[in-house]
């Protein structure tokens, strides 16, 4: 078993309210859930208008499979409209089943 978490620090430059921010973030979160069948959540900056942090969890049978999914997810988020990706970080979970 191989598992990784991919976190994104996002800037939403045109947002002037939490409602506008959520309207920009929701298509990303929902798109990741439905398109890639992964767990995803907004995990930071919930009270700031122009910042957000989202995290995605991926589990797979091989490291190669997980890396491919992570790469595709990263391209998906970078292509999202109305946001800037400030950073993207991957953390791997060690498993004794490898």
Return the pLDDT at 91: 96
Q: Per-residue pLDDT for 25 more than 70?
A: yes
Provide the phi-psi class of 45: left if phi over 0, else alpha when psi is between -120 and 50, else beta. Answer: left
CA 73 – CA 62 distance, rounded (Å): 17
Collect all residues with Cβ–Cβ distance below 8 Å to 51 and sequence separation of at least 6.
Answer: 9, 10, 11, 12, 44, 45
**pLDDT of the residue at 96:** 66
Tokens in use for 97? 């089943």
Region 30-41 average pLDDT: 96
Fold of 2-93: Alpha-Beta Plaits (3.30.70)
Residue of 81 and 70 predicted with greater confidence: 70
For β-strands 84-93 and 39-44, DSSP reports them as: unpaired
Distant-in-sequence, close-in-space partners of 46: CB < 8 Å, separation ≥ 6 = none
């Amino acid at each position: 078993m191989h598992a990784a978490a991919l976190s994104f620090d996002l800037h939403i430059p045109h947002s002037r309210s939490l409602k506008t921010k959520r309207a920009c973030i929701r298509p990303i979160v929902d798109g990741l859930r439905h398109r890639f069948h992964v767990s995803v959540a907004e995990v930071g900056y919930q009270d700031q208008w122009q910042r957000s942090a989202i995290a995605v969890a991926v589990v797979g049978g091989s490291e190669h499979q997980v890396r491919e999914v992570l790469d595709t997810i990263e391209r998906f988020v970078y292509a999202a409209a109305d946001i800037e990706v400030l950073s993207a970080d991957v953390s791997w979970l060690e498993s004794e089943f490898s």
